Structure 1
């Protein structure tokens, strides 16, 4: 294998942080002047459209969601809501323990590193400022590409940007969005991160994958040894 492609949420990020996503939206709802539970419901309902860019960037998205909630925020309210939304998004993407050192080690070992993330605009807009950005050689964000996993175009895009054939890639993820079956169909070797040390983490996987790869690790700290077998 010459390259390793990672999922983002629940794989590179701390799986436990996802439990705070609903609370992270509360400040955004307050800035928009809408009830937190109504805002959460609309964000959840529009998730499939938001992650493929149907509502545009964060500001345009929040304006559209506010209207769905029956509100028409002023520009200053939108300014505050965007700031709150980006701050909240940062709270749910802290690195998994040891993952930055792992990425550094894998690159030092000669692997090209890629990312495919089903994400809304917040991650795409904030990516360059994250600690992950300088460690990942090629990124593919569903919001920017206009399609989500397991669409074959995402896997083709990341392998092309890495400059390697799909057959030379591992795909490592926690099993949401039918990502491993997509990777298998694309010709990559899928690896499941079971997150066994994070009880309840599977509840946050969107559209869980019924396909279970042959290669399974309980945590990413086992990946380095796996690459050396």
Structure 2
């Protein structure tokens, strides 16, 4: 429970930083989604290996904190997927477990690279450029902020419970319901406060997120890389 609450508390997307060689946020979103789809549907493991090698180079260019976060999240997700595939290993399908784990590793790494190399305003602008409804953008922003806040609340409650629990107690599992209840009450309180704040500001259902993102000169090079990835995917799938 402590690990889960800590993971929720660290699930934030408001600390991304865009570099000079980073493409526009819209191209990041579209390109990242394209690469995830290609990796997921590929039947030739060579494409996954090539994508993994390219991602290692990209991740190495991230700041130290972002690199550590990306590696921890990606390997945790890959390990969890391999854990789920343990029955397949015992049935003689160990290659399937490796394939699934590597694909999850690549997909999560792509998501983390896009998130940690893009500022929140650029992410919002990219969604608006892709003609996502404004209310949907507002819902996503509030949901991510709420998940992070509730993760901190659950972590604080669990830490307090851990400090008060001394010695052996076989009924420690029964306190999980209390932690969930406190988190639910905090969630209701936060939603009520947000509703009242929006009402005081005269919210009438129109949400104005950040403006649309403009293309960058470096987008041409990144588009060429995406085209090469598509060509490589077609070639390898033809060989398989």
TM-score scaled by length of structure 1: 0.28
Higher normalized contact order (CA 8 Å, seq sep 6+, divided by chain length) = 2
Which structure dedicates a bigger proportion of its chain to helix? 2
- Between structures 1 and 2, the one with greater strand share: 1
